[in-house]
Amino acid sequence: MAALYKTPIIHTFLRNILVNSQRFKATLDFSKYPKLVESELEETFVRGSGPGGQAVNKTSNCVMLRHIPTNIVVKCHIHRVASRNRQEARKILLNKLDLLYNGENSIEMQQKAIDSRKSTEKNRRQKKLAEMKEKWKERENLDEK
């Protein structure tokens, strides 16, 4: 059962990030992205919490995933189905491992840098447009007088 979750989920997740980032003409460096080894994971199913009433109180579909070498623990109870929670828990664990191992070069930090560059570029363009508009208004007012 663990073989089902080894690569397809992770590759699909990475491909979605790559496609979304290429839309903005920015590339992310996945060369140091960690790989999950199923033998290094300890997976348990526990009861979740939150809204849902009897369904939440009776079923153990919350996934608790522990990465043994780093002792990072991830608890995921986003979906109602345990299999989808397993997928999400692995994604979250991969992001945490990437942040731990790569720090500033992690995918999350690279994405934040791209977003901040886009934001500053957008602000620069808005200011430039506002200045041009102001100059145009001044020029039009001078021509009328």
Query: Hey, how many other C-beta atoms are within 10 angstroms of the C-beta on 98?
Result: 20
Q: Is residue 36 helix, strand or coil?
A: coil
Check pLDDT > 90 for residue 94: yes
Q: Distance (Å, rounded) from C-alpha 94 to C-alpha 62?
A: 18
The pLDDT score that the predictor gives to residue 34 is 87
Contact 93, 75 (CB under 8 A): no
The pLDDT score that the predictor gives to residue 19 is 58
pLDDT tens track for 32-81: 888 889 999 999 999 888 787 887 788 889 999 999 999 999 999 998 88
Structural domains in the chain?
2-144 (3.30.160.20)
